[in-house]
Amino acid sequence: MATLTPDFCIIGSGAGGSVAAAVLAQAGAKVLILEEGAHHTRRAFNMQESWAYPALYQDHGNRATDDLAIIILQGRAVGGGTTVNWTSSFRAPERTLGLWRERHDVDIDAATLAPHYAAVEERLNIKEGTFDDVNRNNQKLWDGASKLGWQPELIRRSVKGCARLGYCGLGCPIDAKQSALITFVPDAVAAGAELRPDCRATKIELEGRRVVSVVAEGPDGPITVRPRRGLLVAGGAINTPALLLRNRLDSNGIVGRRTFLHPTVPVIGIFREPVEAFYGAPQSVSCHQFADRLDRVGYVLETAPVHPMLAAIAFPGHGEAHRQIAARLPFVQATIALLIDGHHDDVGGAIDVTAGGRINIAYPIAEPLREAARDAIKNMARLLLAAGAEQVMTLHDDPVTIRDEGDLARVDRTPFEPQRHTLFSAHQMGGCPMGQDTRRSVVDSRGRHHAIENLWITDGSVFPTALGVNPQLAVYAHARLFATQIARQG
Amino acid sequence: MSGGKALPRRGFLQKGLVGGALLLVGGAGSLALRSTRLSSAPRGPLKLLSLQEHAVFTAAAARIIPAAPSWPTPEALDCGGKADALLALCHPEVGVDFKRLLTLFENGLFGLVTHGRPTPFTRLDPAAQEARLDAWRRSRMALLRSGYLALTRLTHASYYSSPEVYALIGYPGPPDVPAEAR
């Protein structure tokens, strides 16, 4: 078995792992990145769903909660989720950072993060949003929100020279998306880091309070890594807790609990004119009108691209009724509501692993989330009708068709139970929360494990709740903060 | 720090007492699939499913996307073969669960319980097959609704990701990459 001895071993090459690798390598450390996914580049990105989901997503596109109620879209490749995300870039809302400080004992504020956001935004070319990016799908969101006085916003995007093809989620074929795949991973490698794709970490071995080795399964067999200075885990907010649980590092039952998904509720508007929501920048407009609903769960409105396969699994039912919806694909607009979980009494979901290593994700839809979902569906319907939709269709198992305000009451009468409404998650957070209270958190506010002195976690699993906006940029910034601290400690 | 407790297994066909009972039914594969009506032969060697399991999936897919003029059938697009290939990539426990699901769906005795017909799914007429599929869709048991979603999503994914369908749904397909961006 091959044995490697870097200063730092980093598990995962997504937002959290890549920027940490770049920071540490540029500080002179010898860094090894283990990535379980493959190293695909733009020439492989053929914009076909039949290739992209099995090749670039966790569980080959089949990741879901145990009961299949929530479809989970999560990247698995060099670049991690950034290789397949839709480029939307938000800083963490002050509202969320305040909640983390007050209720979760997290010692981070906006000023602490500001230089790290600035550095990441510079590298990823994140600039103010522009109307040039707004396709018809997003224009409907803008128009509807504007007519209702709900103040839509342009989304900042991590792109350079974007041709607005519309296929960010299947890998950018022209390298316009400034993913980790073409930014921080190459930066790290240029500074001397070694990248090992197709290499899945399985074992973490300790001596006392220190990690002494990591065992990984690679394409040429198992390898052992003996990191001289430390281990950084950045496998994402499902695989990181699962790795710790497989190694019985469960921090007295905290690991894997409080997993948050931004459960995402779609509705579709059917328009008389073509929307062609399969083309153009996938997300360029958002609406935060309902993000803060005081004592009720809030939500953010955005859009989703409407490609055939993703749309077909989102549309409810089967048979001729399903086909009739699919046949109107060019006329479909998709608006989504991201439910902001974990900011109230809801506790999210839980990860565990079987004896055979399979990851299980349990996520009960608590009543406060159901209330938010119903409210979101009604408001999305109002928005799409205001934007000119001929009709709005919910994605309940028995869809509710809405043509005017009078139809909205039917949404409240229609069951919102697991498997009776299409739900997605594209944002996974939590499971290894940060905080200063060792009884309620796994790592401290700079990502260091409370009980293992040379183990850090640098991904979205450290978020104590859902973020309330798309988390890619916040994961980068937190990981950069943590890595900068690690580098300073020598 | 290290709890070390044994973690419960929670595959989607193994939840609670009811799930356990269903698993027993689904686990009796050799008996339940003995009378399965085989579909036309798979296009190539199957990686995970047996011929019988492939036949059950193919029969279910034919109900999920019923024949219509000018539309290819799921069988014509080899949805069964595509599903088999995808499942073979997944964690082995996913494959085991899906095979159990197909066995349970085909099982005539279980069909008697869910909607009153003691006939294997593959031997039902189309109307009765639709009734069984709909019984799972609308079941009060979350487990059966999960099974319905597994069958329909896999069928829809393999069918609608096929370029042969694009024109029928008004999808022009991916655009050409601008030459200057190559």
**One-letter identity of residue B158:** S
Contact A199, A217 (CB under 8 A): yes
A98-117 tens-digit pLDDT:
999 999 999 999 999 999 99
pLDDT given for residue B1 in this prediction: 34
CA A206 to CA A215: how far, in whole Å?
12
Give the phi and the psi of residue A148 in degrees, each rounded to 5: -90, 0
Query: For the residues A293-299, what does the mean pLDDT come to?
Result: 98
Select from A62, A71, A418 the Cβ nearest to the Cβ of B142.
A418
Residue B73: its chain A contacts at CB < 8 A?
A: none
The structure tokens listed for B21 are: 């009972």
Burial A331-363 (b: 16+ CB within 10 A, else e): bbbbbbbbbbbbbbebbbbbbbbbeeebbbbbb
Nearest CA in chain A to B71: A323
Query: For the residues A54-61, what does the mean pLDDT come to?
Result: 96
Other C-beta atoms within 10 Å of B118: how many?
11
**Ramachandran bin of A319, using left for φ above 0, alpha for ψ from -120 to 50, beta for the remaining angles:** left
pLDDT band at B14 (very low <50, low <70, confident <90, very high): very low
Asked whether the beta carbons of residue A62 and residue B152 sit closer than 8 angstroms, the reply is no
Beta bridge partners of A75: A57
Query: For the residues A384-406, what does the mean pLDDT come to?
Result: 97
Contact A200, A187 (CB under 8 A): no
Query: For the residues A252-281, what does the mean pLDDT come to?
Result: 98
Nearest CA in chain A to B176: A165
Residue A67: its chain B contacts at CB < 8 A?
A: 12, 15, 142, 146
A414-464 tens-digit pLDDT:
989 889 999 999 999 999 999 999 999 999 999 999 999 999 999 999 999
Residue B175: its chain A contacts at CB < 8 A?
A: 47, 165-166, 279
**One-letter identity of residue A139:** Q
**One-letter identity of residue A49:** E
pLDDT band at A253 (very low <50, low <70, confident <90, very high): very high
How far are the Cα atoms of A137, A184, A195, A383, B151 from residue A189, in angstroms, in the given order? 38, 9, 7, 47, 43
CA distance B17 to chain A (A): 15
DSSP state of A173: T
Specify the higher pLDDT residue, A483 or B18: A483
What residues contact residue A108 under an 8 Å CB cut-off, 6+ apart?
A97, A100, A101, A445, A478, A481
Residue B130: its chain A contacts at CB < 8 A?
A: 319
Query: For the residues A355-383, what does the mean pLDDT come to?
Result: 96
Q: What is the mean pLDDT of chain A?
A: 97
Q: Is the pLDDT of residue A177 over 60?
A: yes
pLDDT band at B31 (very low <50, low <70, confident <90, very high): low
The tally of CA atoms less than 13 A away on the side-chain side of residue A183 is 29
The structure tokens listed for B172 are: 């022009």
Asked whether the beta carbons of residue B91 and residue A317 sit closer than 8 angstroms, the reply is no
CA A212 to CA A229: how far, in whole Å?
9
Contact B12, B48 (CB under 8 A): no
CA distance B176 to chain A (A): 9
A159-175 tens-digit pLDDT:
999 999 999 999 999 99
Q: Does A292 touch chain B (CB under 8 A)?
A: no
Interface-testing mutation among A162, A172, A398, A419, with chain B (most B C-beta atoms within 10 A): A419
pLDDT given for residue B6 in this prediction: 33
DSSP-derived pairing of the beta strands A88-89 and A156-158? antiparallel
Select from B92, B137, B171 the Cβ nearest to the Cβ of A308.
B171
What residues contact residue A231 under an 8 Å CB cut-off, 6+ apart?
A8, A9, A10, A11, A204, A211, A214, A454, A455, A456
pLDDT given for residue B12 in this prediction: 45
What whole-number percentage of chain A has pLDDT above 70?
Answer: 100
Asked whether the beta carbons of residue B2 and residue A320 sit closer than 8 angstroms, the reply is no
Cα dihedral across residues B124, B127, B128, B134: positive or negative: positive
Give the phi and the psi of residue A367 in degrees, each rounded to 5: -55, -40
A82-102 tens-digit pLDDT:
999 999 999 999 999 999 999
Other C-beta atoms within 10 Å of A123: how many?
18
pLDDT band at A339 (very low <50, low <70, confident <90, very high): very high
Q: Is the pLDDT of residue A240 over 50?
A: yes
* 3-state percent breakdown (helix, strand, coil) of chain B, nearest 5: 60, 0, 40
**CA Rg value for chain B:** 19
Residue B137: its chain A contacts at CB < 8 A?
A: 317-318, 397
Asked whether the beta carbons of residue B3 and residue A161 sit closer than 8 angstroms, the reply is no
Asked whether the beta carbons of residue B149 and residue A452 sit closer than 8 angstroms, the reply is no
Interface-testing mutation among A182, A248, A318, A358, with chain B (most B C-beta atoms within 10 A): A318
Beta bridge partners of A421: A396
Give the number of beta-carbon pairs within 8 Å between A and B.
167
Residue with tokens 């602490």, as numbered in its chain:
A112
Which contiguous run of DSSP H or E holds residue A158? strand A156-158
Least confident piece of the model among A239-243, A259-263, B10-14: B10-14
Q: Does A211 touch chain B (CB under 8 A)?
A: no
How far is it between the farthest Cα atoms of chain B?
A: 63
**One-letter identity of residue A102:** E
Give the phi and the psi of residue B29 in degrees, each rounded to 5: -60, -45
H-type alpha helices, A126-228: 136-147, 184-190
Residue B15: its chain A contacts at CB < 8 A?
A: 66-67
pLDDT given for residue B180 in this prediction: 72
pLDDT given for residue B35 in this prediction: 83
**One-letter identity of residue A483:** A
CA distance B126 to chain A (A): 12
Alpha carbon of residue A100 to chain centroid: 19
B152-179 tens-digit pLDDT:
999 999 999 999 999 999 999 999 987 7
Residue A61: its chain B contacts at CB < 8 A?
A: 86, 157
B80-111 tens-digit pLDDT:
999 999 999 999 999 999 999 999 999 876 77
The structure tokens listed for A171 are: 């890998």
Select from B4, B137, B159 the Cβ nearest to the Cβ of A397.
B137
What residues contact residue A490 under an 8 Å CB cut-off, 6+ apart?
none
CA A131 to CA A147: how far, in whole Å?
17
Select from A71, A165, A326 the Cβ nearest to the Cβ of B160.
A326
**One-letter identity of residue B172:** P
pLDDT given for residue B34 in this prediction: 67
Residue B7: its chain A contacts at CB < 8 A?
A: 245, 352-355
How far are the Cα atoms of A206, B17, B110, B125, B140 from residue B114, in angstroms, in the given order? 52, 17, 6, 17, 10
CA A281 to CA A289: how far, in whole Å?
22
Query: For the residues B120-125, what does the mean pLDDT come to?
Result: 94
A133-143 tens-digit pLDDT:
999 999 999 99
Interface-testing mutation among B97, B129, B141, B153, with chain A (most A C-beta atoms within 10 A): B153
What whole-number percentage of chain A has pLDDT above 90?
Answer: 98
Q: Is the pLDDT of residue A284 over 80?
A: yes
Q: Is the pLDDT of residue A40 over 80?
A: yes
What whole-number percentage of chain B has pLDDT above 90?
Answer: 64
CA A192 to CA A196: how far, in whole Å?
13
ipTM: 0.96
Other C-beta atoms within 10 Å of A409: how many?
10
Q: Does A252 touch chain B (CB under 8 A)?
A: yes
Nearest CA in chain B to A60: B90
Interface-testing mutation among A217, A309, A424, with chain B (most B C-beta atoms within 10 A): A309
Asked whether the beta carbons of residue A322 and residue B156 sit closer than 8 angstroms, the reply is yes
* 3-state percent breakdown (helix, strand, coil) of chain A, nearest 5: 30, 25, 45
Q: Is the pLDDT of residue B40 over 90?
A: no
What residues contact residue A207 under an 8 Å CB cut-off, 6+ apart?
none
